[in-house]
Structure 1
Amino acid sequence: MSLQNVFHHRRVAEGSAKACWICNKPSTSVLVTPDNKDFFYICVGHLQDSKFCQPDADEVAAAAARKRKEQLDREVEAVKKEYEEKQKRKLEKRKEQKKDKDKDKYSKKQDDEDDKRDEKAKDDKILELSMSKDDPASSSGGPRIYSLNKSFYQMRLDRIRNAEIAKRNRERLKNPASFPSVPSGDP
């Protein structure tokens, strides 16, 4: 009955929600051991409580890295979109200027310089975003591997032990050979 103090966080469908082990509110979050010997439903709020369980350190770092990468991807997309919109506006402006026939060489050089400046600004902004720091505590996905605190872990072990004892007692009661025999001698 060696149950390790490692639990994986899983989500179930809304229709399969059951009572939280701590507060009895309906919950769709489940903590399961890797070997599926033990599981219990738990609220997400309890998972964030440091007095109930601690997330695995490697898992926290990985979740923070995933969150940071997602944020950087969103920011890079926003910068690219902004740059493309600027280029569209410039293109429209150039088309208007072509219609005006009184365009000279000076304005053409200035447009080329503007293009170079905008491209450099875009590259600088992307570099700046990739260098910026992010807060690892604010991860939406959150960690998926937890270890329970000592007292809660002991409660889980006691629950499993009591269930095994109850099962053994039920089997003994079903077996007639476990009862004593009727005395055969005279009183």
Structure 2
Amino acid sequence: MASFPNVYTHRKVADTASKACEICFKPSTSVLVTPENKDFFYVCPAHLKEKGFCSPIIDEAAVAAKKKKEMDAEVERVRKEFEEKQKKKKDKEKEKGKDKDKDKKDDDKKEKKPEDKKPDEVTTPALDEEPRVFALQKTFYQQRVDKKRNAEIAKRNRERLQNPNLFPQVPKGFP
């Protein structure tokens, strides 16, 4: 039997498909699955945070790409804000002769609106920070391998017992 790698992906299932956690036997909708679906088991999300059970596998390339994308978006946003401020400054110089009080009040209102949007942008990326790929600790991984091996041995034994050639034949002649 070829054993499976110690790389498990965290997946969610529907509430109706929840089964008992392998550790605490409480109903859980979280499943850890190997890449080729050779092994899977239900586990509570709280156990995924325990250092004694598993450790997250962090893909450095994906993290770097995500940071670069966020930086590009931030640069673009700052560039647009700067262009808008420059445009407002030019408009303000043109309308300087007109009602100065109205322009100042309008500018104050416009400047407050973008600041209100900034906290919302900060909270949305925080939701996706949970790792999805894990490596089990040595003892738990060995338990999974042993359980899989024992199930395969039991299946082979059942097949052998169903084979009529396994048992010896009854003697047909007289002694």
Task: Name the TM tier (shorter chain).
Answer: 0.5 to 0.7
User: Is the aligned partner of 1:112 residue 2:103?
Assistant: yes
Contact in 1 for aligned 2:28/2:44 (Cα 8 Å): yes
Counterpart of 1:154 in structure 2: which amino acid? Q
Where does 1:54-65 land on structure 2 (aligned, <5 Å)? 54-58=55-59
Residue of structure 1 in register with 2:148 after alignment: 160
**In the TM superposition, what whole-angstrom CA distance separates every residue of 1:4-32 from its partner, at most 9, and x where no partner exists?**
11111111111211111001111111111
Q: % of aligned pairs identical? A: 51
TM-score by length of 2: 0.65
Q: Distance in 1 between matches of 2:20 and 2:98?
A: 71
SS in 2 for 1:15: helix
In the superposition, relative to structure 1, how do residues 139 and 116 fare at CA in structure 2: closer, same or farther (>3 Å)? closer
Residue of structure 2 in register with 1:169 after alignment: 157
5+ unaligned residues in a row in structure 2: which ranges? 71-76, 78-95
In the superposition, relative to structure 1, how do residues 133 and 10 fare at CA in structure 2: closer, same or farther (>3 Å)? closer
Residue of structure 2 in register with 1:145 after alignment: 133
1:154 shift after superposition: 0.4
5+ unaligned residues in a row in structure 1: which ranges? 70-75, 77-104
1:112 shift after superposition: 1.5
In the superposition, relative to structure 1, how do residues 156 and 48 fare at CA in structure 2: closer, same or farther (>3 Å)? same
Residue of structure 2 in register with 1:47 after alignment: 48
1:186 shift after superposition: 7.7
1:184 shift after superposition: 7.4
SS in 2 for 1:142: coil
**In the TM superposition, what whole-angstrom CA distance separates every residue of 1:79-100 from its partner, at most 9, and x where no partner exists?**
xxxxxxxxxxxxxxxxxxxxxx
Where does 1:113-128 land on structure 2 (aligned, <5 Å)? 113-119=104-110, 121-122=111-112, 125=115
Counterpart of 1:160 in structure 2: which amino acid? K
TM-score by length of 1: 0.61
1:178 shift after superposition: 2.0
1:2 shift after superposition: 2.6
Q: Distance in 2 between matches of 1:185 and 1:161?
A: 43
Contact in 1 for aligned 2:8/2:34 (Cα 8 Å): yes
- Within the candidate set 148, 169, 178, 2:166 is matched to 178
Where does 1:68-107 land on structure 2 (aligned, <5 Å)? none
Report the number of matched residues: 143
